[in-house]
Structure 1
Amino acid sequence: MTVHAIIGGTGLTELPGLTIDEAVPMETPFGSPSADILRGRYAERDVLFLARHGHPHRIPPHQVNYRANLWALKNAGAQAIIAVNAVGGIHSAMGAGHLCVPHQVIDYTYGREHTFFEGNIDHVTHIDFSYPYDEPLRQRLIAGLAAEGFLFSSHGVYGCTQGPRLETVAEIARMERDGCDIVGMTGMPEAVLARELELPYACLALVVNPAAGKTSGVITMAQIEAALAEGIVKTRAVLARALAS
């Protein structure tokens, strides 16, 4: 049976319901991952769990050691990865509390260590990244959302920005013209690193705020935290459904 790893983002630094067998500290050729990898059982399945921003939440998105995180999960036995990401909503359907299973990504980040294929390597390697998310794993998340009866979008384009600041109104307008439906700060290079390691990878995105210019007021942390508190409960239910399928 496939061993799934769950990467928890903002609001999911721990996974209630996870029976922890051990916390695995790990070093990699790329440094330390964000936190110990938790090995245990969730929804009666063997799982690994990693808090992307550390536990407690302390590592900003542009300083996450994505290479160490993915390498550590692979070496701990992960065979597929479900990533949970808190995002802003650009498309009108993506209101706070909405869930989305993106099918495409646009990378606006810069300066991040974004590949394993560099340095002292034997040959140049190019991977196909036409479809960044694993379709069978996406369909399991979609089925879990449908079974729970939550409002969700089965497709969406994830625009990944550098952070840690939120975006300007003009930047969001540009992203909307580019075709982005949601905006986050951690979707890349995580997805491409999983592909390089031949790990099926899919994203469950929770909208926690309207993107800049999509509301009359400013975006506040109080609004984001309220949406997280409600949305993470839904997220856990969907994860349990997807793992059990």
Structure 2
Amino acid sequence: MAVQADLNHAMSQTASGPELDSARVGVIGGSGLYSINNLESVREVQTDTPFGKPSDALRVGTLNGIEVVFLARHGRQHHLLPSEVPYLANIWAMRSLGVRWLISVSAVGSLREHLRPRDMVVPHQFIDRTRQRPQSFFGDGCVAHISLADPFCPTLCDWLATSAAAAIPTGHHLHRGGTYLCMEGPAFSTRAESELYRSWGCDVIGMTNHTEARLAREAEIAYASLSMVTDFDCWHDDHDAVTVEMVVGNLKANATATGPILEQLMGNFSKERPESPAHRALEHALMTAPEAVPSATRERLDLFTSPYWGNVQPSTGRDLP
């Protein structure tokens, strides 16, 4: 019953105004972050979605007065490869629980000398090199085209970076902006690939965030990443000296450092809820007239498309130019 109440609440929300006051903030924890220790009044939500089961149970609780939904991306036992993460189910489940802002906490490798292990980056751009991931909630009789020019929500990135700057512990440094190269994995880059990505202007490399950001935008969720550097990618002379113990130590230190940052962010949310263009991403994105959409497809999509079916012009039978 609690899950259905959450779903009814989520579907009744519009994209702005007082409705956002009751929306939740989501946190997806990557390698090293499998829970939020200071989350209070926690309940676990086991849910199914039209796209299968999420990576793990979602944990709903309160952090600094704000309702937060937490999910371990790879499962709490870290049993899912980056290519095996059920991205569609994870994002759909977040939206069904009323999440309209989503923070990814992720481990990354550095492609730049000044981005050192244990530094934190709030990137603004992506290059996608994945090959085995779902790219969209749409298809199966319904077409939509979202804008992904700014794949991370600029508003939420600013809020996250400001909060991180105010709360980051000693020994860590924050960097605003940069480009995240999203690779398929699970193997890391070759040296030639690493140098290629550097020549493209990329700053950090990971295996998950672009897929989440793309789907979050379709679900009208503002998305930002706290990318935590664990080591240099293989382009760097020090790479061969990196040990598993060093990487694990950096993972643990970075995960510990996220606690005060998330508390600071939620404290800022308690004063004001930032509206985002992402909250209206589908307003003019739908291309298929509702009468042409198969009922099963429409049922899967109604969680975030229901306010906009009236915006679609009836089908003319002509291709757009």
TM range (shorter): over 0.9
Distance 1:114 1:75 in 2: 19
- Selected match of 1:120 from 112, 124, 141: 141
2:216 match: secondary structure: helix
Say whether residues 1:83 and 2:104 are aligned partners: yes
Structure 1, residues 11-45: CA drift from partner, whole Å, max 9, x if none? Answer: 00111111243111111111110001111011221
Distance 1:169 1:237, change over 3 A: same
Say whether residues 1:100 and 2:121 are aligned partners: yes
TM-score, normalisation: structure 2: 0.73
Partner amino acid, structure 1, of 2:208: T
How far off its partner does 1:221 sit?
A: 2.4
- Selected match of 2:149 from 109, 124, 130: 130
Matching residue of 1:163: 185
Matching residue of 1:5: 26
- Selected match of 1:174 from 176, 181, 196: 196
Q: Which has the larger radius of gyration?
A: 2
Distance 1:63 1:138 in 2: 27
**Which structure 2 residues correspond to residues 1-245 of structure 1 after superposition, within 5 A?**
1=21, 2-121=23-142, 124-148=143-167, 150-218=172-240, 219-245=242-268
Q: What's the Cα RMSD here? A: 1.2
Give the conservation status (yes or no) of the 8 Å contact 1:34–1:50. Answer: yes
After TM superposition, the runs of 4+ consecutive aligned structure 1 residues lying more than 2 A away are 215-221
1:233 match: secondary structure: helix
Give the conservation status (yes or no) of the 8 Å contact 2:233–2:239. Answer: no
Give the conservation status (yes or no) of the 8 Å contact 2:54–2:89. Answer: yes
Partner amino acid, structure 2, of 1:214: H
Structure 1, residues 114-168: CA drift from partner, whole Å, max 9, x if none? Answer: 21011232xx211100001111211111111221255111111000000111111
2:99 match: secondary structure: coil
Give the conservation status (yes or no) of the 8 Å contact 1:35–1:55. Answer: yes
Give the conservation status (yes or no) of the 8 Å contact 2:232–2:238. Answer: no
2:61 match: secondary structure: strand
Unmatched 5+ residue regions in structure 1?
none
Structure 1, residues 154-213: CA drift from partner, whole Å, max 9, x if none? Answer: 111000000111111111101011111000001121000000011111111000011112
Distance 2:136 2:78 in 1: 25
Distance 1:40 1:217 in 2: 39
How far off its partner does 1:4 sit?
A: 0.1
Partner amino acid, structure 2, of 1:226: G
Give the conservation status (yes or no) of the 8 Å contact 1:20–1:38. Answer: no
Partner amino acid, structure 1, of 2:62: R
Greater helix content:
2
Partner amino acid, structure 2, of 1:30: F
Distance 1:203 1:30 in 2: 24
1:79 match: secondary structure: strand
1 or 2 for the larger relative contact order (CA 8 Å, sep ≥6)?
A: 1
Distance 2:243 2:122 in 1: 25
Q: Provide the identity percentage.
A: 34
Range moving further from structure 2, 15-24 or 160-169: 15-24
Distance 2:243 2:183 in 1: 18
Give the conservation status (yes or no) of the 8 Å contact 2:60–2:69. Answer: yes
Distance 1:99 1:202 in 2: 13
TM-score, normalisation: structure 1: 0.95
How far off its partner does 1:217 sit?
A: 4.1
Partner amino acid, structure 2, of 1:233: T
Range moving further from structure 2, 34-43 or 17-26: 17-26
Range moving further from structure 2, 79-88 or 139-148: 139-148
